[in-house]
Each structure stands twice: as C-alpha cells, then as structure tokens.
Structure 1
Amino acid sequence: MVEPLDPLTRFENSPKRRVGDVDVDCVSRADLVAWCAADIAAARHPPRLVMDLNGHALSLARRDPAYRACLAAADIVHADGGFLVTLSRHRAGPAIPERSATTDMIHDFARAFSDGTGSFYLLGGPEEINAACARELRRRYPGLAIAGRRHGFFGHEDEHGIIDHINRSGADIVWIGLGKPREQAIARRWRDRLTARWVITCGGCFNYVTGHYRRAPGWMQRANLEWLHRLCTDPRRLARRYAVTSPHALWIALHG
C-alpha cells in the first residue's frame, strides 16, 4: 500500500507549467491556503516567497532579466491572470486549476486564519490606504490578527528598520504591495532576514480591500476581461501598460 504524501510534500511536488520564461504552479486558491497553514504549523524558515503571474508580469519577465530572476527565485508562482488558466486547458501539459488573483487570495487567507492560527503584516500603499485596509480586514474577519503594518514610502536606508519591525511583530504572512518589479526585488532581498513563514507580493491589493479600486463584475472576471474593466475605470494609469503588455504577453503565452 502506498503511503499518502504529507501536505507539504504533496504541495511541493505539485505540477508546474512553463509559460514563456516562468514556471507556474498548478495549484488552486484552497491549495495555497492549505500550503501556507502547513508551513506555519511546521515553523518554516526562511519564508516561502509567493509571487504572481499575469499579463504584465509575463511581459516584464521577458524584458527585464532582474525581474525574471526574482520570479525564478520564488517558491511559488501562481496564476493571477485568467487567460493563463484558459490557455493551459487547451494546450498540452498540466492544467492550471483556477485563477488565483491576489485580490481574492487575501480574503481566502484572512478567512482561513481568522481563527488566530496565522497573522498578517501589511506593507505598502499610502498610509491612509494601508490603515484602511487593516481596519477593513479586522471588520470583516474579527478573529484575524494584523500583527503590524507600514505604508510603502521608504528608501533603502529604511529597510533594516522595517525588517526589524516586521520580525518583532511576529507576523506569519507578510503581504508586500509595492507594485512590480519593486515588491518582487524586495521580497527576494529580504527573504533570509525575515522570520515570517510566507511573503506574498500583492500589487495594488490593499486598494481593492478598501474599495478604492473596484473589481470587475463576475461575468467579466469569468470571461478574462477584468483587465478591460480596470482599463475603463483607470485609463490614465493603465492605458499605456495594457496597450504594450497585453499583446506582448499573449504572444509570449502562445509562442513561448
């Protein structure tokens, strides 16, 4: 009789799918939560680096060797872009089970760890957004421990103090919302100095928690059109990005 794999071994041996220059883990949002819980229970150190892949990231990885190296150093790269899931189901190789947008994941994790088994540190965004995100998470998930938080405006000279603050907070999961490629570079650079179990890069996720950015309707999310909703609601910030990165990312995903 074959012995069942323990959770950590099972997750660490989950299939990966090569998309362009990046290996993507074929895991669900529930898998990610369970994987994190297992790492917290095992007191994993150094922390596991968790980064996302969407169209912007796929294009940037092709153009920026330093950013590509950050993704290669991650323990987990999950599919934030819905088109990656759709393409994986129609091409040879392992399928990605579902989209794992960080804007959904932060709620998955908050709900799962509202029993006190895991705590958050929120790093990034303006002070008012960061503080509002912490308040909203506490309101929606009353048992969730927000061990600490800090806005995202700092220089290299501040990093030692911020790392010390995160470690003293005792946070299990550090959410870094500083935007690509800065958040990935910082996560990689700080990894061996942090005592947390997971470090998750999450872009503008805090803005969605607070409602300052609005999610697309469900039908647009299911049709892989959330990017279009974002473009229409914030054209000044996103028009150039999507005009350049979306066609490039699709070409990479289709042709490698």
Structure 2
Amino acid sequence: MSTHHDPFTEFRALHHATEPLLLPNAWDHVSAAALVAAGFRAIGTTSLGVAAAHGLPDGQGRTREETVALVRRLTGLPCLLTVDVEGGFSDDPAEVADLAETLAGLGAVGINLEDGRAGRTLADPGRQAEAIRAVKDRVPELFVNARIDTYWLGVDTGDLAPTLDRAHRYRQAGADGIFVPGRIPDLPALLVGVSLPLNVLYLPGERTVPELAALGVRRVSTGSLLLRAAVGATVAAAEAIRAGASPAGPVPSYADIQSLCR
C-alpha cells in the first residue's frame, strides 16, 4: 500500500527499504530545489550551510531563526524534509520540543538532534534523552535522528561502550534512528550494537554507499560536503576565468536556475 499520502510514514519507511536512504543536505532554496529536480525524494538541511550562509559559526546554537526561516521556504518543495537543528538551540527540553513542533507544523518530517556541544564537549546523555523524550511526547510522528558525536569530536572513543550506552538511552527515550558521524573504527560492531536504523556520514575516499549498504547501514548523509563542494567549485570557476580558461564541470544555465525558483 502506498504511504505517499502520509509523509511521516513514507519517510520512516525509507529507513527500512531494500537500499539505504542517501540523504543529500541542502542549505538554501536553490540547492534543495536542484536536488529535488535530480530525483532525490528526501532532503536534509546542513547546519554548517545554514550558519555559513548567514556569516555565523556552526554548532554554537545561534541559528534557530535562520533554520526556521529556511524550513518555511523549503517545505513547499515536493520532497520529504528533515532538519538539522544542532543541539536543539536550547538546553531546555521543553524549548527543544517547541522547536520540533514548529518545524513539524511547517511540514518537516524529521529532525537531526545532536549531543555535541560548543567547546568540543558532549551533552550529559540523560539530559539529552530528556530532550528526545520531550520531542517525541509533543510530536510523536516526527522522525528523531539522534546524533551521537563521540567519534565526530573524538571524545570517549577508546571503545564502543560509551557510544552504545548513548544509543541505548536515546532509543529508550523514543529516538527513531541513530546517527554516528565521523570515522568509526569498528562499524560492523556498532551496527550489531545499535538496534535502530543507523545513519553514517559519507566520507569521500572511504566506504562507498553500496559498501555501507552491504554492512547494514540504513541512512547515509552528505552533511556539509555538498556545500563545501559548491564553494570549492565557485572559487575554482572564478580562478579559471581569471587565468583565461573556462570553468570546468557542468554549469546550469540562467534559465535552469530560474526554473528552480518558480
């Protein structure tokens, strides 16, 4: 039976499909619209992209308003949208739930909620679990992807136990998926220990999406990679023109971009 009429159910089902969900991350309307036009049914936002687009640092809890404004622009697109909300932009679980309710009301089907904090520290797992529980109590249909930043920040990575303990706490609090970004020394063991769909970050030069799929990864995010690639291509194009050459790679036409903004 089709679940297209229910975006929350459809998004959840993508984490249990034959192939893992490849989730590209957009940072503005045109990047999201271009990804939708390329055939991506589900799109995530990138907190670095949102912050950088406004001249702000990532991971400092300073882009709540910008994130909500972006979601208002993107939820008109024909895609399933999940939103990177850093640590929830508050240490108060009720305020994190308020934000989740606002985003769901705008049309988002999921959020990515991380336990990393400013200063390369980790949130208390019990307190983080309270935030997850508050969100699920308020908006039970919203897919909460609980991000564990142990490997991303290089904290408590002597063995898998601290990461698995956080995953267990977050699952008990109602998380729908677990996201462990960074370089994971023993990914197969992590997959065995996590009893929810596991999301990892695509890392160029390391495991491909088919290889991650073969291991049992259920969701692969691009994170800030697409933004960084776009910035790199922008500078490379300008430098090529300055040197008397033409920009390399495909360049959408003026009309192509206009069509994405209608």
Q: What TM-score do the two structures reach when normalised by structure 1?
A: 0.35
Q: What TM-score do the two structures reach when normalised by structure 2?
A: 0.35
Q: Which structure would you say has the larger RCO, counting Cα contacts within 8 Å and 6 or more residues apart?
A: 1
* Larger helix fraction of residues: 1
Give the structure with higher Rg (CA).
Answer: 2
